[in-house]
Amino acid sequence: MQDYPYPQFQNNYGYINQFPNYPTIDYEKTVKRIKAKSDFNTVGIAVITYFLCFLIITLVILISIFGLNGLSNLDIPSSFESLIDGTVSLLSLFVSTIIICAIKKIHPREFISFRRDKSVNIASVIFIGISICMLANLATSLLASNLNMFGLNYTIPDTTQFNSPFDIVTAIFSVCVVPAFVEEFAFRGFILHSLRKHGDSFAIFASALLFGLLHGNFTQAPFAFIVGLVLGYVVVKTNSLLPAMLIHFFNNFYSVVMDFISNLNFITSEVFSIISDATLIAIIIIGIVLFAKIAKKQKSFFKLQKQDLIFNFKQNTKMFFSSAGVIVAIIFTLSEAVYSMITVMLSSR
């Protein structure tokens, strides 16, 4: 009889059956991989949807106010521009959320939670978060200063002006309220929630990295990434968006207050530096003290729970950033950042 390279079995009728030695397929892992890819693509599609909604709504509002002919020569006051930007951000979030929820057949309450965890001192967590954000902001300022020494100045200039109470209100609305709500809803709400089933540490890292990249500014990206890590961790440990929103609000509110003080005619640059440095140091010291207090009494707060996962952190990260939706979203974001960088560098010459 001819030799076969496959195992042979004789059935009840005396026939010889040959079965090739096919490799074993882990169907459960394959299904999980497909599901993970679907989740990751949804995150990318959600980001793209938001930006498209932002672009379309902005055009609709500007055309409604100024007409098609007026778009070629827009001269919008900074406060009014901030008001439009904040309003468009809220509308874009609302519309894109409806679209994504309709496509995925989910309800926003699935990824939005404002429940208070009584086992955690929320006030201390918020203050610690703010102090870490201050440290990250300080590091970003040092980075920008070092880049300026080499002639690389592509930091987007601050155009905030406080000529009237209306300017103050619009600045707080567009710089503090809107980002705290929109960005936390999107990144620590939908994106973080969508990724947590694949591991809390991975979800915090991936959502923070997207948060940094989507700021559209290479100088601010490291700062935004660190802030994203802090806010993501806070949401995971408290299971609530409220602390992250408050940290985000007060961090931006500090910047608005400092801008307002610097614009006061009777405040010299030396006095402003003293006020700014003293406030920054005080917040950081209080944050360190509270951090040490929580580390002593609630050691579990600084540890993530272990999860039984099929894919580890490295595998999830690889799948996430190789997903078509995420790739397109990152390319779109980087293109915007490069355009912004070139525009700022050319305008500064």
Sketch the domain layout of the chain as residue ranges: 36-347
Q: What are phi and psi of 16, to 5 degrees?
A: -100, 125
Contact at 8 Å (CB) between 84 and 76? yes
177-218 pLDDT tens trace: 999 999 999 999 999 999 999 999 999 999 999 998 887 677
What are the distances in angstroms from CA 239 to CA 8, 56, 115, 243, 307? 58, 34, 7, 9, 16
**Predicted TM-score (pTM) of this structure:** 0.83
Residue type, 210: L
Residues 6+ apart with CB under 8 A from 343: none
Both tokens assigned to 323: 């997903």
Residue type, 116: R
pLDDT attached to residue 246: 94
pLDDT attached to residue 215: 77
Length of the chain: 349
Largest Cα span, the chain: 105
What are the distances in angstroms from CA 198 to CA 26, 193, 218, 225, 311? 18, 10, 28, 20, 8
Residues 6+ apart with CB under 8 A from 41: 323, 324, 325, 326
pLDDT attached to residue 208: 94
* Per-residue pLDDT tens listing for the chain (349 residues): 455 454 554 555 555 555 555 555 567 788 888 999 999 999 999 999 999 999 999 888 888 877 766 666 667 777 778 888 888 999 999 999 999 999 888 888 888 877 766 777 788 899 999 999 888 877 777 766 666 555 555 555 555 667 778 888 888 999 999 999 999 999 999 999 999 999 999 999 999 999 988 876 777 788 889 899 999 999 998 888 999 999 999 999 998 998 888 888 888 888 888 998 899 899 999 999 998 888 888 777 878 888 888 889 999 999 999 999 999 999 988 887 777 767 666 665 5
**Comparing C-alpha atoms, which of 268, 231, 271 is closest to residue 126?**
231
